[in-house]
Amino acid sequence: MTAPLRPHRRFLLAALPAGILASGCKGQAQEPPLASLSVPPLKMVAPFPVGVCVSTGNFEDPTLLPLILQNFSQFTAEWQMKMETILKDDGSFAFAEPDRIVDFAGENGVRMHAHTLIWYAQKPAAFERIDGNKTAFQNAYRNYIAAVAGRYRGRVVSWDVVNEPVADEGGVLRECLWSKNLGQLGYMIDAYHLAREADDQALLFLNDYWLEKRPEKRRAFLHLAEQLLKSGAPLQGLGSQTHLDIGLEPGSVKAAIKDIASLGLPIHLSELDVSTRFTRFDGEGDGQKATRQSRLVHETVEAFMALPERQRFAITNWGVRDSDSWMQRPPNPPGVNKPLLFDAEGRPKPAAAAFVAAATGR
């Protein structure tokens, strides 16, 4: 890893909105002067890779692209490396979109994290057709992972092999097309071995969400990771999506990151955003919400920085500008939620300054 540039102290002080580091949330927070925020490029100051999710359309966007290239050193495809894009109904593969993303990353010296091979939420017709036919299902599963992970061997540094296997409640694993046909632990163990056979270099991750919001889910996630390791599956990293909201109790992100890191594996905070909606703070003004968001971002990055360096895989943001977030998509009203580090005009928000402050030890 190349040494990060140390930003000039005056620069950082100017970038830090008043009150971000103050403890407690009582009283009227001051509206931070958005327009005057000056934040250095995230990737230049953070001593770890700073990621962002992208889609091919972003590369044609003259306003967004410079922001992406200036600030981020790692890409995750937002959806174009998922089965929904790659696997066609007739069982054939479509690689044009993921190829474009992986090529673009390579051409621009950006590290590529691949997302995702097996996800309960994907139910492709090509697999549903063979639901219940054990041999056909096993073959198609093997074939898919071999083809996709094999194609990007040497061009991606890591894969989310299994995504979101833990149920939101009850500390149990989700029932899904994959568990039904290949066994609850079996589909995961197979996926890790198949990914390893296809790509002997990529770091293989297990990824899930709400690990800070639901301690019971976190326990189930860690228990699963231990079971996979015990079985001999080549699981090598843990991804915590880190979809937060401003209603989270202070301290819960820190506790989660410490806990998840206790197995000693590299940690990827893989889809960071902080929703400003649907909490007890909905009645507050934008400035107060921005301050709450900044505190959470600060807590997150600070907790990540507290990990041993070898465990800091990356922090990936799930979008650049508020207007790019998946939280703007239907049925959500556009423009109301402001979950990301840059505003709709591409200006760094207080949360971006908080990211930089924590990443530089302030």
Residues that bind ligand XIL (CB under 6 A): 78-79, 163, 209, 241, 271, 326
Of the pair 220, 305, the CB lying nearest ligand XIL is at: 220
Of the pair 137, 178, the CB lying nearest ligand XIL is at: 178
Quick check: helix, strand or coil at residue 226? helix
Q: How far apart are CA 238 and CA 268, in angstroms?
A: 6
Of the pair 57, 308, the CB lying nearest ligand XIL is at: 57
Of the pair 20, 260, the CB lying nearest ligand XIL is at: 260
Give the nearest distance from C-beta 272 to ligand XIL in angstroms: 11
Give the nearest distance from C-beta 8 to ligand XIL in angstroms: 35
Of the pair 163, 311, the CB lying nearest ligand XIL is at: 163
CA angle 309, 204, 86 (to 5 degrees): 130
Give the nearest distance from C-beta 141 to ligand XIL in angstroms: 20
Give the nearest distance from C-beta 52 to ligand XIL in angstroms: 12
Give the nearest distance from C-beta 208 to ligand XIL in angstroms: 9
Give the nearest distance from C-beta 115 to ligand XIL in angstroms: 6
Of the pair 217, 295, the CB lying nearest ligand XIL is at: 217
Mapping DSSP onto H, E and C, the string for the chain reads: CCCCCCCCHHHHHHHCCCCCCCCCCCCCCCCCCHHHCCCCCHHHHCCCCEEEEECHHHHHCCCHHHHHHHHCCEEEECCCCCHHHHECCCCCECCHHHHHHHHHHHHCCCEEEEEEEEECCCCCHHHHCCCCCHHHHHHHHHHHHHHHHHHCCCCCCEEEEEECCECCCCCCECCCHHHHHHCCCHHHHHHHHHHHHHCCCCEEEEEECCCCCCHHHHHHHHHHHHHHHHHCCCCCEEEECCEEECCCCCCHHHHHHHHHHHHCCCEEEEEEEEECCCCCCCCCCHHHHHHHHHHHHHHHHHHHHCCCHHHEEEEEECCCEHHHCHHHCCCCCCCCCCCCCECCCCCECHHHHHHHHHHCCC
Of the pair 272, 305, the CB lying nearest ligand XIL is at: 272
Give the nearest distance from C-beta 164 to ligand XIL in angstroms: 6
Determine the residue with CB nearest ligand XIL: 326
Of the pair 78, 199, the CB lying nearest ligand XIL is at: 78
Of the pair 271, 343, the CB lying nearest ligand XIL is at: 271
Give the nearest distance from C-beta 77 to ligand XIL in angstroms: 9
Cα torsion angle, 303, 306, 309, 310, sign: negative
Give the nearest distance from C-beta 165 to ligand XIL in angstroms: 11
Query: CB of 213 within 8 A of CB of 279?
Result: no
